[in-house]
Amino acid sequence: MQNQDTLCKSWEDGFCKLNNLFIHYTRTGGNKPPIVLLHGLVANGMCWKNIAQALSDNFDVIMPDARGHGKSSAPDYGYNYENLANDVISFLTVMNLSNVILVGHSMGGLTATLVACQSSLIRAVILADPTFLSLERQWEVWESDVIEQHKKMLTMSLITLIANRQKTHPDRSNELNELFAKARLQTNINAFDILMPPNPEYQQIIKEIKCPCLLLYGDSGVIGIEQANNLCKINHLVTADKIKNAGHGIYLDQPLQFVNSIIKFVDKL
């Protein structure tokens, strides 16, 4: 069996031109069912590396960088969920992907929800602690200091950011902390416009999903058990699975549980 480093070297690294953007992506490849992983704010496609490695035996894993993130184009404007969803739909179309398993974390989770409402290319959608926030909470985030914090981080060296992440997340590998530090430096400040309220009304778009949907949530993230249960009642196609001992960084806190939940869900489709 090939080791993980050899596998990663065989992955495709490319760009997809759509509309007026170039969307960068990484792809594990192979004649396997496609699974597309959408990252959150200040991350990028390669932040899914460990998950992609674990899924690559069963899937062709495709990890795009959202606009303003990673190596993708960073326009001066257009950072809202409707545009992010349109980017994904255009990406799937240009890449000739269909029957896609779509996975989204945080910002990527709300984006994936919109895509699943609008596109027939999606076979099933998996939402990992999506940003289903009340309007009040959205304003709290927007009026917080997260943008100023990011501006400060953009002035720091990669070495400093890695060291800071290792202090904050000592339980994560040095490689993961480095990937997220690099992703932070590759996040355009304009990408934070995504935080400007209001978000799409998540209860309404959950109602409109017409494919099987798995909602994954942890102990201390955005989604709680009551909210998860309510979303399952709104649409019978939605099921929920709690990942124990996980916060908002659900796939980082419990990667094995996360991957097993995905594979179990897909096997039942």
The pTM of the whole model exceeds 0.85: yes
Question: Is 4's pLDDT higher than 60?
Answer: no
Q: Which of 1, 20, 39 is nearest to 186 (CA)?
A: 39
Q: Summarize pLDDT for 46-89 with one digit per residue, the tens.
A: 999 999 999 999 999 999 999 999 999 999 999 999 999 999 99
In eight-state DSSP terms, residue 247 is: B
Average pLDDT, integer, range 212-240: 97
The pLDDT confidence band at residue 7, using thresholds 50, 70 and 90, is low
Q: Which of 117, 126, 110 is nearest to 40 (CA)?
A: 110
Three-state secondary-structure class, residue 71: coil
Average pLDDT, integer, range 130-140: 98
> What would the two tokens of residue 250 be?
């659900």
Quote the mean pLDDT of the chain: 96
* C-alpha dist (Å) from residue 119 to 102, 111, 152, 266: 11, 12, 38, 19
- For the CA atoms of the chain, what is the radius of gyration? 17
Average pLDDT, integer, range 139-143: 98
Share of the chain above pLDDT 70, in %: 97
State the alpha helices, DSSP H only, in 35-145.
49-55, 81-94, 107-118, 135-142
